[in-house]
Each structure stands twice: as structure tokens, then as C-alpha cells.
């Protein structure tokens, strides 16, 4: 708690107040200006103080970035989808392409085809309903590894690994690995 000590001004007869005329400092124009300046400073600093009390954890930030990516994919929002990736990202696709896609030109070329296949002539989304199961997020400073399963193909367990890196503009996907395993060959 702040304490303010009220002191008195004592001015001489030549335009200054005598000792008998005591004016509390709280009523002087200078004090009122200082008090107003402090109040404005407090109001300006308050949002940043509140933000520092409740910063998002890195894991929450990663979860948010992943949710935005999945939403963009569900709705086939090309711009939001592509911007979730780092320019130098690598991708392993689950079925059609056995080779690794390295860099934006390669992974975008294939995803454009995937988007058109999923759209299948429709003009409104959502086109998919991606529901990650058993998600695990592992944090390593500015790198996050996210693993989960998808139930989107009967008879198969679809596995996903997404590696994100924190850049100056947020968490970006630097690697996506999609694979699937037959449930018949799954061992417990």
C-alpha cells in the first residue's frame, strides 16, 4: 500500500506564504498534476501487469496453434492452413506419396490436390471433422512434439506427429508425419 506524507509549504512575505498560513501539499496544483500523472501511468501499465500475471503457457500456445491448424484443415481454409507451416517444413503423407516433401513448394503442391479431393465440388464447409484422440504434447524449450490418433479410416489406426517450433511470429509446424497401421496387426 502506498503512503503519502502531507507536508506544508511555508512561503515568505514577498509573494511567499508565512509559517502561519499552512497549505497542505495535497491541495497544491503541482501535487494534483503529479497525482494525475501517477494515476495515468498506473492505468497505462495495468494491462501489462495483468498480462504478466496470467501469461499463456507454452503448452497452451501450442494447443491453440494446433486448434487453428485443425480448424483450417476441417474448413479447407487454404491460407490459414498453409500459414500454419514454416517455409522449410517437411511432410510425410499417410498413403499416396511415399517420399518426403521438403519445403513449402513441395508440401503445398500435394496439399492443394488433397484439398480439391476433399472439397469434391462442395462450396461450403466444414469438409472434415478432425478429432485428435489421445493427444500428447511434449515441450522442449522452443520445440513441441504433438502426437495423436485419428479414427478416420475403418480398420486402420491413423497416427500423427506434428513438430512445431516457436518463431518470432508464433508456433509453426516444421514437420508433419502421417502414418497408419492396420488394426488387425496391432499388438497389445
Task: Based on the fold, state whether residues 149 and 101 are members of the same structural domain.
Answer: yes
CATH code of the domain covering residue 163: 3.10.450.50
Q: Identify whether 163 is part of a domain.
A: yes
| Residues 13, 68 share a domain | no
- 138 CA to centre of own chain: 16
Same-domain status, 109 and 147: yes
One domain for residues 83 and 105: yes
**Does residue 64 share a domain with residue 44?**
no
What is the number of structural domains in the chain?
A: 2
Does a structural domain hold residue 2? no
Q: What tens digit of pLDDT does each residue of 98-131 get?
A: 889 999 999 999 999 999 999 998 988 899 999 9
pTM exceeds cut of 0.85: no
Burial of 85 (0-12, 13-18, 19+ CB in 10 A): buried
pLDDT for 44 beyond 70: no
| pLDDT given for residue 22 in this prediction | 52
Amino acid at each position: 500500500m502506498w503512503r503519502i506524507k502531507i507536508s506544508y509549504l511555508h512561503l515568505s512575505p514577498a509573494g511567499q506564504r508565512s509559517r502561519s498560513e499552512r497549505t497542505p501539499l495535497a491541495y497544491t496544483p503541482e501535487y494534483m498534476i503529479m497525482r494525475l500523472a501517477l494515476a495515468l501511468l498506473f492505468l497505462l501499465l495495468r494491462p501489462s501487469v495483468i498480462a504478466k500475471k496470467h501469461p499463456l503457457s507454452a503448452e497452451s500456445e501450442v494447443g491453440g496453434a494446433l486448434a487453428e491448424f485443425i480448424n483450417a484443415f476441417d474448413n479447407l481454409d487454404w491460407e490459414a492452413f498453409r500459414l500454419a507451416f514454416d517455409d522449410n517444413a517437411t511432410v510425410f503423407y499417410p498413403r499416396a506419396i511415399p517420399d518426403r516433401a521438403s519445403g513449402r513448394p513441395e508440401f503445398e503442391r500435394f496439399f492443394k490436390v488433397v484439398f480439391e479431393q476433399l472439397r469434391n465440388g462442395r462450396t461450403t464447409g466444414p469438409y472434415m471433422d478432425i478429432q485428435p484422440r489421445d493427444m500428447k504434447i511434449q515441450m522442449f524449450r522452443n520445440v513441441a512434439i504433438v502426437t495423436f490418433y485419428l479414427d478416420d479410416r475403418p480398420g486402420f489406426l491413423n497416427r500423427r506427429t506434428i513438430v512445431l517450433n516457436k518463431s518470432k511470429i508464433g508456433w509453426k509446424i516444421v514437420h508433419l508425419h502421417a502414418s497408419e497401421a492396420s488394426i488387425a496387426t496391432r499388438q497389445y
